[in-house]
Amino acid sequence: MSYFIFKNKFIKNWLVLIGIGILSLDLNICSASGIISKNSYTLPMGKDVLMNHTSSPNRNLSWSSENTRVATVDAWGIVHAKSPGKTKIIATDRRNGKKSVCLLNVCENEPFKNVITSSNISTTNEFFEIKAFAAKNVESVKFNVNAPGYKKIYQCSKKKNEKDCCVWSQSVKIPKCGDCKIEAFGKIKGKWKSCSEARCDIYISNNYKKSESTFSEKRASPQASDFIISCEGFVNKVYKDYAGILTIGCGKRIYPFEPFYNNLTREEGIALFSKTLNQGAYTGAVNRFLKKHKIKFNQHQFDALVSFSYNLGCAWMNNGSELSRILTNCGGNSGNNLYAVVNSKNGIWVRSSPNTLSKKLCALENNSTVDLISGHREHGNWYRIRLHNGVTGYCCADYLKIYSGKSGEKSLNNINKNKFISEFSQYHHTNKKCCKGLIKRRFEELDIFFRGFYSRNSGWRGAGNYPIPRCASKLF
């Protein structure tokens, strides 16, 4: 031990001699990985960050800041950046006195707190609104909109002053379907600036019915967002949830060293929720799961699974759970001996009659599968097809690949309903106890999945529509 003491003192003296300042190497200070997982960190002014190594507060730790004019830290290890400068954030283990130190550098504030769209999904040539929550010192705002076959910069002029920020907004419509990327730029002292919070996206689709099953990527619908917000509630600053996890806004979990804004207005909280839901793990994970297993799904089914995942996390998709097996075992045996696969990057139209002047019934995306009613072409170059919702129509033969045999296409419409309801309802425990509120939410999500009902009241009626889990029978 004496050797290491001598070595550390030698290194310390040597660094001081050449003018490099380092943190104290007192024996009471443990390695950074013991409590704080970073030796140094940069945080923009006005933002907060959790320096504790987990999202669950540790009562055995005490926290302090050497310079509270630069940054403060609370009892949970959440640091608030107040003004540009440097300070040391110190965590002390009350049980043994060991300390961990992080050198914090507070830089200038970011130009934006958040940028969102009024809806998570829109259709071609339909107006939606972009909102930017900008710092007070932002003089003007522009939006860089980048979609398939469409690029445009919008100079924003509509502005609304809030308590601690300004909300800039712009109406936009996109002519083609696909993923639309948006980035905001704010002018500060004559220079255009952006930041990580200034980016968002929206999915543009063709006109579609929410009950129509497709392979296309989806986002949570406005009804789904409203449903989840009503379930989660809103709290403007960090709190501990029922599981002891630090949370903010509408159920957004606080992760170590993931900077965030505290003390939100309700509009800012909903903006944070919208970005978390659609740009975080939830919609992305559900889309990847269904597309990986080549499962067709409609908007209601997608919304129910997103709400379920937002409440419980996404691990059920990747751990070989019984629920994931029920969802992936949804192949159908319907169809003729011939079926067709769409072979067009831009998709094709299904028409009411075998000609290009007839009514457009719906659009089919590339690689979608349809059943052929007849293997013979009609009126020269048209196949009569049947969609999986039973609708019949005509498609141009030039954009179809014909195969023989059963299509065996997977669709959530073919799911084993009783097995799915039974397994889905089992996810209602908290702290190893049955929770009546979670059973209610599972029933409401089942109503979204099967019936397209987004009502918060349907959960109580659901007790009559769905069997109550045996372990929770005493609660009803």
Could you read off the pLDDT of 341-379 as tens digits, one per residue?
899 988 899 999 999 999 999 888 888 888 888 778 888
User: What is the tally of helices (H) and strands (E) in the chain?
Assistant: 9, 31
What is the DSSP secondary-structure string of 277-322? HHHSHHHHHHHHHHHHTTEEB-HHHHHHHHHHHHHH-SGGGTTT-H
What pLDDT shows up at residue 72? 98
β-pair type (121-123, 199-205) = parallel
For residue 176, give every residue at least 6 positions away whose Cβ sits within 8 Å of its Cβ, in sequence order, or none.
124, 147, 148, 149, 150, 204
What pLDDT shows up at residue 286? 95
Rounded CA separation 7/5 (Å) = 5
Phi, psi angle pair for 399, to nearest 5° = -115, 20
Number of other CB atoms surrounding residue 462 within 10 Å: 22
Rounded CA separation 396/355 (Å) = 8
3-class secondary structure for 211-271? Answer: CCCECCCCCCCHHHHHHHHHHHCCEEEEEECCCCCEEEECCEECCECCCECCCCCHHHHHH
pTM over 0.95: no
Q: Mutual orientation of helices 222-232 and 299-312 as an angle, nearest 10°?
A: 30
Query: Distance of alpha carbon 122 from its chain centroid, rounded?
Result: 17
What pLDDT shows up at residue 7? 35
What pLDDT shows up at residue 474? 78
Query: In which residue ranges of the chain is pLDDT below 70?
Result: 1-34, 207-208, 280, 332-337, 388-390, 404-408, 458-464
Q: CB of 112 within 8 A of CB of 137?
A: no
What pLDDT shows up at residue 464? 61
- Walk me through the domains of the chain, giving residue ranges and CATH numbers: 22-107 (2.60.40.1080), 112-207 (2.60.40.1930), 225-329+413-475 (1.10.530.40), 338-408 (2.30.30.40)
What pLDDT shows up at residue 332? 58
Could you read off the pLDDT of 136-156 as tens digits, one per residue?
999 999 999 999 889 999 999
β-pair type (369-372, 360-364) = unpaired
Measured CA distances, 304 to 157, 267, 361 (Å): 38, 24, 27
Burial (0-12, 13-18, 19+ Cβ within 10 Å), 320: exposed
Strand partners, 64: 90
What pLDDT shows up at residue 16? 35
Rounded CA separation 53/57 (Å) = 9
Measured CA distances, 447 to 123, 313, 329, 405, 421 (Å): 25, 20, 21, 35, 10
Q: Which H or E run includes 324? A: helix 322-328
Longest dimension (CA), the chain: 94
What pLDDT shows up at residue 370? 81
Find the radius of gyration of the CA atoms of the chain. 28
Q: CB of 168 within 8 A of CB of 136?
A: no
Token pair 């989840």 is found at: 228
